[in-house]
Amino acid sequence: MKPERESQAVEVELYGGAGCQYTAELREQLLWEGRDFVEYDVEIDVEARRRMIDLANGQRTIPVLVERGRVVQIGWQGRGCTVAEP
């Protein structure tokens, strides 16, 4: 898990927030599975929030899991938190 985007293509990205318990639960699942991912805190990183909203077609629910540039999951087990518009 690395806090910043690298120049090479990122396989798995987790967009979430420190204040969202569902982000924490999805992070724990990814770690338990042994998956490498880059995490962005969209509550404080405005650029990451804009990127996430664009990827998720305007949705502001977190967590958002992106694989190879495509959203594969929004929320965690049917639940999520909402972030403010950028």
The pLDDT score that the predictor gives to residue 6 is 46
Q: Is residue 42 part of a domain?
A: yes
The pLDDT score that the predictor gives to residue 9 is 61
Task: Write the CATH number for 33.
Answer: 3.40.30.10
C-beta contacts of 24-27 below 8 A and 24+ residues apart: 25/76, 25/77, 26/63, 26/65, 26/73, 26/76, 27/63
Considering the entire predicted model, what is its pTM? 0.86
Q: Is residue 28 part of a domain?
A: yes
The pLDDT score that the predictor gives to residue 86 is 72
Q: Is residue 51 part of a domain?
A: yes
Q: Are 1 and 36 within 8 A, CB to CB? A: yes
Number of domains observed in the structure of the chain: 1
Q: Is residue 35 part of a domain?
A: yes
Q: Is residue 5 part of a domain?
A: no
Range of the domain at 50: 12-82
Q: Is residue 1 part of a domain?
A: no
The pLDDT score that the predictor gives to residue 85 is 79
Query: Would you give per-residue pLDDT tens digits along the chain (86 residues)?
Result: 445 444 456 699 999 999 999 999 999 999 999 999 999 999 999 999 999 999 999 999 999 999 999 999 999 999 999 998 77
DSSP, residue by residue, 21-83: HHHHHHHHHHHHTT---EEEETTT-HHHHHHHHHHTTT--EE-EEEETTEEEEESBTTB-EE-
